[in-house]
Chain A
Amino acid sequence: MRVEVAGENALILYFSDEVSEASSAYIYAMTQALEALIGKGVIDLVPSYASLLIIFDHNVYDYYSLKQYISKAKAVIDQTRIASGNSTDSIEAPTITLPVYYGTEAGPDLEELARNAQLTTEEVIAIHQAGLYQVYAIGFAPGFAFLGQVDERIAAPRKSTPRKAVPKGAVAIADRQTAVYPSVSPGGWNLIGLCPVPMFDAEKTPSMPLATGNKVKFEAISKAEFIAMGGEL
C-alpha cells in the first residue's frame, strides 16, 4: 500500500496498479477500518478500483496524525488476515443478488452482442448469470456501480454511438464491466436486460442496495416476475 498526498485535506491510498478482487476486498476492509477508527474527522472516503481517497477535516487531523491512523488501520486488517489464514478471502463482503429480466425485449443489444461473441443469447445470459461480480467503484452518476470482471467471452466494447436515453434499470456490459443504470441517462453500454430493483432512490435509506467492495450475483426472472416486482417496460 502506497500513501500519496492528493490535496490540502486529502490523501490517497494506492493498493495495486491493476484491478483485482484481492485489492478490492482490501480496499473495502480499509474503508470499514478507517470509518471505525477516525470516522468523525473524515469528510468522505472514496473507494475505487485500486485506491481509496480520504478527505479529512484539517481542524481535526493533519497529514502526520492521519498517516498514523492509516498505519493503525492497516495493522488491524493485516492481523485479522494472519489470524484467519493469511488470505484476503477472510475479508467478508456481503453478496447481493439482483434479479434480471433478460431478453431482447428488455435488452435491445443482446442479439448483437451474442452474434459478435458467436454465442446464442441463452449462452450470453447463462455466462452473465454465472459470474460473481465485485463492486469496484461507484460514480459517474448517483448510484452508478461499476461491476467486474465480466467473462471475456461476453465482454463487448462500448457502442460507437451512445444512446441518448438508456432506461432506468438497464443491465449493461462495457468491456469487462457490467452495471445497472440507476436512472435514465445517456450511455454507450450494451443493454442485455432490465433489473426491477432501484439502484438509487433519494427517498430511501439506504438509497443504494450496493456499496463498493460488495459482491453481486444476477439471477434471471421472467417477464411476469419483473412486472410483479415493480419493473416497467
Chain B
Amino acid sequence: MIVNNPGVLALIQDAGRLGQHRIGLTVGGPMDPFAFRWANRLCGNDDNASVIEVSIGGFVAEFTQQAHIAITGAEVDVKLNGQAVEQWQTLSVSEGDVLKLGFAHAGCRIYIAVQGGVQVPSQFGSCSTVVREKIGGVDGGSLVKGQVLSISPFEQRSKFIMPIENRPAYLSNGQPAAKSMSPLRVVQGYQSDSFSRADKALFFSGEYTVSERMDRMGYRLTGHECRSTITNMLSEGICHGAIQLPPDGQPIVLLNDRQTIGGYPKIGSVMARDTARLAQMTQGNTVFFESVTIEEAHAINLLAEYKESQIALVDLD
C-alpha cells in the first residue's frame, strides 16, 4: 500500500517492545490495546501483528493489491473510494482502492489493520515505532507521504463484525468537551506517602482536565495542585501509567513512550485498561481518579480479560 497522506501522526505499532528497559528502550506499542487487538482479530491476524496507529486522523492510502483490512478505535468517517464504510468490521479492498480517514469526532487513536500485518523488520523483538528513540517502524520514524508499505499476499477468508455492545464508547470531541463518567483507577504506590492526606483527598475527589500537552509519552492534566514533600530524589524505574507530580503540582500520566527512568515523585499508577481510555481523550476532556488496591486491580483485570475472551465476532458471510 502507498501512504498518500499520513495525517496528523501515523505510526506502525505492534504489541510493544517488552523487556528492554535495561538498555534504555521504552515500550511503545498501541495507546489503546483493546482497539489494536480487535483490529488484528478482524483480519485474522496474530495479536502481535503490526498495524497503523493514526492519531486524530487525516490518513489517506492507496492499496496496490487485494487485501482484508479493519479499522477500529476512535470514531471517524472512513471512506473507501469515496463511499462511507463501517469501522469494527472486516473490509475487502482491491488494487487501486483509496482509503481515506476524516478526523475523529469521538476518541483520538484509530487503528488500521491489514491481513497478515504491515511487514516491517523487528528491532529488539518488536516493530513498534518510538520516534524519540528512532527505533522500529520504517527507519524509526512516523509514516510519511509517498511511503510504500509491504503487506502479505491476499488470502480469502471470512469477514467479521464486532457486535455493537462490545465496542468501547469514546468521549465526543465536540464542544463543550465531554466528561468521563468512569474513573481512572489508580494503584497507589511509589512516593504516595509523601503527599498530605488533604492533597490526596482532593486528588481522588476532584476533576482533572486533559491539557494540550498530551502525546504518546504522557498526558499532562490540570486541576488541584498536589505536591510531594520530597523535593529531590534519585531517578528510578517508571512503570506504565505512573502519575508523576513535578514541582508545579500538576499530574502527568506516563504512557507508552515514557522515559524508562525519572526523578519526580509519583503518587501511584493508573491501570493500563484505564490509560487506554485516557489515551483516547483529547484536550478539554475531564477525568477523575479512584484509588484501588493492587489486589482489586488484579481482580478487575482477570474479570475484564475473561469478559473480553467471551466476545464473539459475528461472521458476515
Contacts and interface: CB of A to CB of B under 8 A. Distances in A.
Contact of A212 (B22, B123, B262): B22
A53 B61 CA distance: 42
Contacts of A142: 23-25, 133, 135
A46 B135 contact: no
Contacts of A200: 23-24
Interface in B120-176: 123-124, 133, 135
Contact of B22 (A19, A44, A202): A44
A8 B297 contact: yes
Given A63-B294, A138-B24, A52 B237 contact: yes
B261 interface: yes
A140 B262 CA distance: 8
A5 B188 contact: yes
A217 B92 CA distance: 60
Nearest to B27: A44
A72 interface: no
Contacts of B123: 202
B234 A211 contact: no
Contacts of B241: 7-8
Given A12-B189, A58-B301, A140 B294 contact: no
B269 interface: yes
Contacts of B261: 46, 48, 137-140
A49 to B, nearest CB: 4
Most chain B CB inside 10 Å of its own CB: which residue of A8, A50, A141: A8
Interface in B255-297: 259-262, 266, 268-269, 271-272, 294-295, 297
A23 to B, nearest CB: 10
A51 B19 contact: no
Interface string B18-38: 111111110000000000000
For chain A, which range describes its interface: under 10, 10 to 19, 20 to 34, or 35 or more residues?
35 or more
Interface SS of chain B: mixed
B184 interface: no
B187 interface: yes
A169 interface: no
Contacts of B266: 6
Given A5-B188, A212-B22, A62 B135 contact: no
Contacts of A196: none
B259 to A, nearest CB: 6
B235 interface: yes
A18 interface: yes
| For the complex of A and B, 5 pairs with smallest distance between CB atoms | A53-B237, A46-B237, A7-B269, A5-B189, A139-B261
29 contacts: A5-B187, A6-B266, A6-B269, A7-B189, A7-B241, A7-B268, A7-B271, A8-B187, A8-B272, A8-B294, A8-B298, A9-B239, A12-B236, A44-B22, A46-B237, A46-B261, A48-B235, A62-B295, A63-B298, A137-B261, A139-B21, A139-B24, A139-B260, A140-B259, A142-B23, A142-B24, A200-B23, A202-B123, A202-B135
Interface of A: 4-10, 12, 18-19, 43-53, 55, 58, 62-63, 137-144, 146, 200, 202, 207-208, 211-212
Given A53-B238, A55-B239, A63-B294, 15 more contacts: A5-B187, A5-B294, A7-B242, A7-B268, A8-B241, A10-B189, A43-B19, A46-B21, A46-B22, A51-B234, A63-B298, A138-B260, A202-B124, A202-B135, A207-B124
